[in-house]
Structure 1
Amino acid sequence: MVIAAGAGPSWLDHSIWWHVYPLGFTGAEAAALPSGTPRRHRLRRLAKWLDYAVDLGVSGLQLGPIFTSETHGYDTTDYFTIDPRLGDDRDFDELILAAHERGLRVVLDGVFNHVGRSFPRFGDPGSAHWFRPTADGHETFEGHHSLVRLNHDAPDVLDHVVRVMDHWLDRGASGWRLDAAYAVPPAFWRQALDRVRPLHPSACFAGEVIHGDYAGYATASGLDSITQYELWKAIWSSLNERNLFELAWALDRHNGFLESFLPLTFVGNHDVTRLASRLDDERHLGHALAVLFTVGGLPVIYYGDEQAFHGVKEERAGGDEAIRPSFPDHRDDLAPYGWHTYRLHQRLAGLRRRHPWLVRARTAVRHLSNTAAALEMTDGAGHRLVTLLNLSDHPHRFPLDDTGLAVADASARTAEPCLVPEHGWAVLHQVTHAGVR
């Protein structure tokens, strides 16, 4: 029997995303262009990297904010125009066309919890109901004066969000990543999706939820996917602390989430310190990627992580700059040291694509200590992969029956499938008389 999971369009089961923050990737100005300044057609620069994304092995782009905003894109001022720092509608259409020609889907970032202060409705007396007043002004998002929260009880706000979603889905987007979804009542998303989905039944909708009841939020909102921050934290933390019990605990919860929705899994994004900087021992970067690409969910690669970029997020103005850098004009201009990590991503993405059943797989921990774990992924239909992690200073022989198991990929090859070198990892697949399963 195939294990059931959450809803979503069928193409979502085959998704591997390349997450790009366009304003940073293209080297855009830090703030909106002065009035009268010609548009910068930087989306064309991003289009030149689509072949690189295809070679990486992804199936789509998850774009950060691209609409007109005041600074970083999350202070939107016009949801129906492309930010002049990035280009115009024609640039967007050409990017979508180029992506579709390569078999890539494009998901957009919808910032519908708050707006920038120069959003036209803000300050318009006739639109006061769009926002939540406070004793000394208007409610802001997590204390950021520049981000004014919308009133999600207002029918006009719901109508606005539905119009925006429909507009860009009509223009070729394949779905939405909903920023700060956790700050919005889940019933609001359900109302919006009840109106959008009939016109766009193949669109996907993922919500950013950091803490709390992921499954409950997914069920109440009707979203297809929720960001899996619990697993993100457990991956790097368990590797740093040499405490794989934390990872095992998170994967047990991850199994439960898969009953309700398809988790959006990642080891880096535009809001957190990069994996190569987060890990205390960079020998364990492959361990993190092996987990990302073999457990259930929808894996996302944050641009630059595939090249082992470093970058530390700092809690200050401009503290995101190091994790949102520009890419060069051409792939040949990337530093040579990053290509080893790129090729590792290619291999693991290829493995994932050869085993698409992993999207809904459950994980059982078959062997566990502080520094060694054997993770068995199955789908209830006879498919099986085993990921072995060794964080110790010595080779580790996993006490598993390796009958029918062969190495699909590993940090280093050994004579025995279940013998993993010091600080090594391996992914084993089941081999049958008919071949690989």
Structure 2
Amino acid sequence: MNKHIWHRSAISVAMALALAACGGGGGSSSTDDSSSTDDSVYSLTISSSANSADSRMTCNQGADVAACDLRMYQIMVEAFVNGDDSINYNTGYGPSEHKGDLQGIIDSLDYIAGTGVNAIWLTPIFNSCKGETSDAKLEATGYFACDYFTVDPMFGDSAKLKELVDAAHDKGLYVFLDGVFGHASGIGITMDNVPSSLSGLAEPATLTSSSSTCTVSSTQTCFDYDSSDTLAFFKAVAAYYVTEYGIDGWRLDQAYQVPVSDLEAIRGAVETAAAARAADGEEWGTLGYMVGEVWSGQDYIASNGYGTSSAPGLLSNFDFPMHYGLMQAVGSETSASSNSDASALYASWNDGSVYPDFAIPNLFIGNHDIPRLGDLLQRTGRGDVDEDEYWLRHKAVFSFMAATSGPMTVYYGDEIGDQLDGFSTQVSSSTCASQGLCDDHVSRTDGRVLGVTEDSLTTNETSLKAYVKSLMDLRDDHPALAQGSLTRISDDDNVFVSRKDNGSDQILYLLNTQGTDAVVTLSTTALGDDGTLDNLLDSSDSLSASDGNYTITVPAYSGVFYQIN
């Protein structure tokens, strides 16, 4: 939540320095970069693959697990959609009207399912004791709970949560809740509503002074995991919502506040509860997926999120390093350089080389704590909503996500390129909070849901949403995208060329990070095949090799997918 600044700043600066130190990706001896005499075209010749197949880039070493193809849709509950005007916060951080609730999400499920995602992640829905702390805006976020066993009455109640979970499942959507298991409201938590099935559960212990990961204050209580009561409490909370509501797992906020050995124990409780539901013949609530937010570099994520092969913590964590690489390559970010350099994809600081074999990184474009891609593009002059570049960059970023093994997360509104009008000129460090324009909450806008809050979308918004749906369907149909091994065929600065393999499903993916079209001459030796290439998003585009080479045109700021036959 709002306590992430030190992690976010550190990772952005570190990655910027790493990229600068590397001097870009250059090209390997196997790649001949030669600019065409036509300034409107970039030419790239690849005679042999720059890298061999990398099994680390499979999802969980190629295991056939549903988590690998999770396509999650993140919802900031208090900001999203007003479905019940009698229970709203009406205040909060960010520019929304802060009237979101569970009914608004239920009303929006058809739209959400129509984007091609297969899961929703809700920011915390636990009671935050509205009006009892010194910060009403923090209460609205949900990240400072006072009661882990009741639904925030400003969002709904337990019956409404169960209705939402069941309705989402009926539409084929997994449901994940947000667990804040390292800190809570500054007033502490109540044990008054512990369910009878958990009678005798002890209150978690709290810290009396700040730790390296959690600051004790009037608005924040920090939990002490040196006490066995704390671990027992959160194991019970995590399992309870699986057992009683049928949720499919958790996202853990600031997961580094919980010791990695305790993350393993909490995960074990969730997986046990999910397995029990499966044994009872339940269709849903059986996945037991958990993903951690450890906002830092990959070494810190490895040690404080994943743990080791012999002592695993969480099996999945958000891939902040690759997020920053993707933003540098195609999009834009707040702190590090954004230079359209494809070498920022799988650079030494974000290639996942330090993660254990079981790791399932979860890639994302944005979330509730950073500006939207659209806002950043406008701030850095890399495309405005009335320019083609804005929409092409969005599509390019989504295409890379679709081509990356492991789960992916879409922040609500990004599927239509949403942004806040005027953000690039209005933001000021001295007045941003009162304006709702600070970087760490500007994306908490009202949800724009066709058929619920919107009667229509613009042509560009409609086109992007349809493109995102086509990518989601592509992942659904092709296990190579969600689970395949990765072969980075080229280390070129301008065009990312890779191959994904999962059994007989073999796909060539190319991403042009530049503003000019690219013509790639790819040898059959470099590809490792000599069959036809069929464009998976354009049935009229089928390529055959000529004299041992394929000639592939990749439009500016675009990703293309070819089935290798």
Residues 128 and 231 of structure 1, relative CA distance in 2, 3 Å threshold: same
Q: Distance in 2 between matches of 1:352 and 1:144?
A: 45
Secondary structure of 2:374's counterpart equals helix
* Alignment counterpart, residue 235 of structure 1, candidates 326, 336, 350: 326
Secondary structure of 1:373's counterpart equals strand
Residues 382 and 255 of structure 1, relative CA distance in 2, 3 Å threshold: farther
* Alignment counterpart, residue 260 of structure 1, candidates 330, 337, 358: 358
Whether 1:178 aligns to 2:265 is no
- Measured after TM superposition, the shift of residue 29 of structure 1 is 1.8
Residues 396 and 16 of structure 1, relative CA distance in 2, 3 Å threshold: same
- Maintained 8 Å contact 1:243/1:370: yes
Q: Distance in 1 between matches of 2:321 and 2:512?
A: 22
Q: Which moved more, 1:332-341 or 1:89-98?
A: 332-341
Secondary structure of 1:241's counterpart equals coil
Secondary structure of 1:273's counterpart equals coil
In the other structure, the counterpart of 2:406 is 297
In the other structure, the counterpart of 1:131 is 206
In the other structure, the counterpart of 2:535 is 407
Whether 1:61 aligns to 2:120 is yes
Residues 414 and 276 of structure 1, relative CA distance in 2, 3 Å threshold: farther
Q: Which has the higher strand share?
A: 1
Secondary structure of 1:141's counterpart equals coil
In the other structure, the counterpart of 1:77 is 146
- Measured after TM superposition, the shift of residue 191 of structure 1 is 2.3
Normalising by the residue count of structure 2, what TM-score does the alignment of the two structures yield? 0.67
Residue correspondence of structure 1 range 144-159 to structure 2 within 5 A: 145-159=218-232
- Measured after TM superposition, the shift of residue 142 of structure 1 is 5.1
Secondary structure of 1:426's counterpart equals strand
Whether 1:323 aligns to 2:443 is yes
Percent of aligned positions that are identical: 23
User: How many pairs were matched up?
Assistant: 416
Structure 1, gaps ≥5 residues long: 33-39, 432-437
- Measured after TM superposition, the shift of residue 404 of structure 1 is 1.8
Q: Distance in 2 between matches of 1:178 and 1:9?
A: 24
Map Cα deviations across residues 12-57 of structure 1 (whole Å, 9 max, x no partner).
233211111111113542559xxxxxxx993111111111121111
* Alignment counterpart, residue 418 of structure 1, candidates 552, 558, 561: 552
Q: Which moved more, 1:150-159 or 1:365-374?
A: 365-374
Residue correspondence of structure 1 range 332-347 to structure 2 within 5 A: 332-333=454-455, 335-336=457-458, 337-347=460-470
Residue correspondence of structure 1 range 199-214 to structure 2 within 5 A: 199-201=273-275, 202=286, 203-211=288-296, 212-214=299-301
Q: Which moved more, 1:290-299 or 1:400-409?
A: 400-409
- Measured after TM superposition, the shift of residue 248 of structure 1 is 3.4
Q: Distance in 1 between matches of 2:119 and 2:456?
A: 22
Q: Which moved more, 1:258-267 or 1:59-68?
A: 258-267
The structure showing larger relative contact order (alpha-carbon pairs under 8 Å, at least 6 residues apart) is 2
Map Cα deviations across residues 351-372 of structure 1 (whole Å, 9 max, x no partner).
1111134223232221232222
Structure number with larger C-alpha Rg: 2
- Measured after TM superposition, the shift of residue 221 of structure 1 is 4.4
Whether 1:189 aligns to 2:312 is no
Map Cα deviations across residues 329-357 of structure 1 (whole Å, 9 max, x no partner).
71543542422211111111111111134
Residue correspondence of structure 1 range 22-37 to structure 2 within 5 A: 22-26=77-81, 28-29=88-89
- Measured after TM superposition, the shift of residue 405 of structure 1 is 1.1
Q: Which moved more, 1:20-29 or 1:51-60?
A: 20-29
Q: Distance in 1 between matches of 2:66 and 2:176?
A: 13
Q: Which moved more, 1:352-361 or 1:157-166?
A: 352-361
Whether 1:249 aligns to 2:347 is yes
- Measured after TM superposition, the shift of residue 193 of structure 1 is 2.9
Residues 264 and 186 of structure 1, relative CA distance in 2, 3 Å threshold: same
Map Cα deviations across residues 188-217 of structure 1 (whole Å, 9 max, x no partner).
112223344323233111111122343443
Q: Distance in 2 between matches of 1:145 and 1:114?
A: 12
Q: Which moved more, 1:353-362 or 1:167-176?
A: 353-362
Map Cα deviations across residues 112-157 of structure 1 (whole Å, 9 max, x no partner).
11001123359xxxx99711113xx899835765222111111221
* Alignment counterpart, residue 348 of structure 1, candidates 471, 481, 486: 471
Q: Which moved more, 1:60-69 or 1:7-16?
A: 7-16
- Maintained 8 Å contact 1:328/1:334: no
In the other structure, the counterpart of 2:517 is 395
Q: Distance in 2 between matches of 1:25 and 1:429?
A: 38
Q: Distance in 1 between matches of 2:342 and 2:476?
A: 26
